[in-house]
């Protein structure tokens, strides 16, 4: 009997040694959480893959496509393939190969037409107007060594059947349009030709927890996503200009978190009403050093949240030399106030590379909206680009940063996303955000 399944492929996890099972198990947990609203019967490890089995009565093609699309967004997944599961009978897996090639050709043709429409071209290419491909090959793999056919024999057998069904198509073993995979595994045969490319990386929950300084701009959401893709649980902290500005940036950050939720890496988002303290700092310190003083305070608060959350590093969206606060001297002056590592995934990226990644993960349109926040509040006309630590220390002595830190920690609020299965909230800082959160009063 032929049934439909989704096969999950991973690359980096396969390189792990004795702790590989831990990464696989965490990926299974994350997949179950991401697919909780779909009719998934079970998720099982099979010979270097994960198999997602759908309830037979709900194995609709659209549901399978939606499952594969969701799976492809989960860190740790290299590819998600819509596969046919058959018995080790030649008639069944050969028929499955015909069906798999037909579906892959249709998906390829639809993708080509979609690309032409997106580019504004009305000229339909030969590939788009045909049934989607000109060449193919069969790639067989036999994990079950007790099966009587060798991989080369499987290639010839399935290839000959496909040549009969598609007589106008050619076999190209070097650069085919479509590859039909035939895997003999644990008493079954899995046949597929259509796959969605995943985000790669490692499963969230295998690399600890980090606190990310999240703004509504383009850079910090990308940095947060990149660290989450490496297996870290990300706890964003947003510094709002409230009460000196509106809370519009907070809503944009919530929208950004909603976009990033598909990866399952975002824990709780904290919001710090930073505007009043920022104004006090701007009145007390030299104008040229304001930005550095703001960022030193932000880093102190983020580190305090990290201690409460059990996080082991901070994450920022800084790119070397992009703005005044991101020169080597100013980065050094900011780093000085914290004792935990600060990750800067974008430090060597230019703006166009960051924008391209933001478009890929779906945050660019949100970040392109303008909203007043602390990043544009009380900015100096001529910010210092090469701060000297001696001058920074002298300026900091003009303001009671410790008292301001305690004040802000009393005012900090949070918004729960509830979409990271590995995240465990701390017992401290239990005040909901007054307007965005699920309640308007603190929890006792």
Residue numbering of the annotated binding site for ATP: 213-214, 238-239, 295, 317, 326
Let me know: does 39 contact 60? Beta carbons within 8 Å: no
Q: How far is CA 239 from CA 139, 410, 414, in A?
A: 53, 14, 12
Determine the length of the chain: 444
In CATH terms, 3-197 corresponds, of 3.40.50.11540, 3.30.1360.120, 3.30.2130.30, 1.10.357.10, to 3.30.2130.30
Closest CA to 194 of 290, 99, 81: 81
Q: How far is CA 15 from CA 21, 202, 404, in A?
A: 11, 11, 48
How far is Cα 50 from Cα 70, in angstroms, rounded to an integer?
15
Give the helix ranges, DSSP H, for 4-89. Answer: 20-34, 61-72
CATH of segment(s) 209-438: 3.40.50.620
Q: How far is CA 158 from CA 11, 95, 147, 168, in A?
A: 26, 9, 15, 16
Residue numbering of the annotated binding site: 213-214, 238-239, 295, 317, 326
How far is Cα 347 from Cα 11, in angstroms, rounded to an integer?
26
Residue ranges with strand state E in 148-232: 170-171, 178-185, 188-197, 209-213
How far is Cα 210 from Cα 283, in angstroms, rounded to an integer?
32
Any idea where the domains of the chain sit in the sequence?
3-197, 209-438
How far is Cα 135 from Cα 204, in angstroms, rounded to an integer?
38
List the beta bridge partners of residue 343: 315
Relative to beta strand 268-273, strand 233-240 is: parallel
pLDDT tens, N- to C-terminus, the chain (444 residues): 889 999 999 988 888 888 889 999 999 999 999 999 999 999 999 888 999 998 866 667 889 999 999 999 999 999 999 999 999 999 999 999 999 999 999 888 877 655 544 545 444 444 444 567 899 999 999 886 778 889 999 999 999 999 999 999 999 999 999 999 999 998 899 999 999 999 999 999 999 999 999 999 999 999 999 999 999 999 999 999 998 888 889 999 999 999 998 899 998 999 999 999 999 999 999 999 999 999 999 999 999 999 999 999 999 999 998 888 899 999 999 999 999 999 999 999 999 999 999 999 999 999 999 877 767 767 778 888 999 999 999 999 999 999 999 999 999 999 887 679 999 888 766 556 666 654 433 433
Relative to beta strand 40-46, strand 49-54 is: antiparallel
Closest CA to 317 of 372, 363, 255: 363
């Amino acid at each position: 009997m032929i049934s439909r399944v989704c096969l999950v492929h991973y690359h980096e996890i396969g390189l792990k040694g004795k702790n590989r099972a831990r990464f696989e198990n965490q990926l299974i947990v994350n997949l179950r959480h991401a697919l909780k609203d779909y009719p998934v019967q079970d998720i099982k490890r099979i010979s270097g893959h994960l198999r997602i089995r759908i309830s037979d009565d709900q194995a609709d093609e659209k549901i399978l496509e939606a499952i594969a699309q969701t799976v492809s967004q989960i860190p740790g997944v290299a590819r998600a393939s819509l596969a046919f599961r058959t018995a080790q009978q030649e008639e069944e897996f050969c028929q499955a190969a015909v069906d798999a090639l037909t579906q892959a050709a249709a998906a390829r043709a639809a993708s080509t037409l979609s690309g032409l429409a997106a580019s504004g071209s009305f000229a339909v290419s030969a590939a788009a107007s045909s049934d989607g491909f000109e060449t193919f090959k069969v790639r067989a793999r036999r994990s079950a060594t007790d099966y009587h056919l060798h991989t080369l024999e499987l290639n010839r057998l399935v290839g000959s059947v496909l040549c009969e069904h598609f007589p106008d198509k050619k076999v190209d073993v070097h650069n085919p349009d479509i590859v039909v995979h035939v895997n003999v595994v644990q008493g079954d045969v899995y046949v597929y030709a259509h796959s969605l490319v995943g985000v790669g990386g490692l499963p969230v929950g295998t690399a600890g927890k980090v606190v990310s300084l999240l703004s509504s701009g383009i850079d910090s959401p990308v940095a947060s996503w990149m660290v989450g893709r490496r297996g870290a649980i990300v706890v964003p902290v947003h510094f709002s200009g409230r009460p000196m500005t509106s809370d519009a940036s907070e809503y944009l950050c919530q929208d950004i978190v909603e976009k990033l939720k598909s990866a399952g890496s975002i824990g709780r988002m904290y919001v710090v009403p930073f505007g009043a303290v920022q104004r006090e700092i701007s009145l007390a310190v030299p104008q040229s050093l304001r930005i550095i003083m703001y960022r030193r305070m932000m880093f102190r608060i983020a580190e305090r949240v990290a201690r409460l959350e059990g996080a082991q590093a901070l994450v920022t969206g800084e790119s070397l030399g992009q703005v005044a606060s991101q020169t080597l001297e100013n980065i050094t002056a900011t780093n000085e106030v914290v004792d935990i590592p600060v990750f800067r995934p974008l430090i060597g990226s230019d703006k166009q590379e960051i924008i391209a990644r933001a478009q890929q993960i779906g945050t660019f349109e949100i970040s392109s909206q303008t909203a007043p926040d602390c990043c544009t509040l009380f900015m100096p006309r001529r910010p210092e680009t090469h701060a000297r630590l001696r001058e920074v220390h002298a300026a900091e002595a003009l303001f009671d940063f410790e008292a301001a830190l305690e004040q802000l920690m009393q005012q900090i609020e949070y918004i729960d996303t509830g979409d990271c299965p590995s995240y465990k909230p701390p017992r401290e800082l239990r005040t909901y955000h007054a307007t965005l959160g699920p309640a308007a009063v603190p929890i006792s």
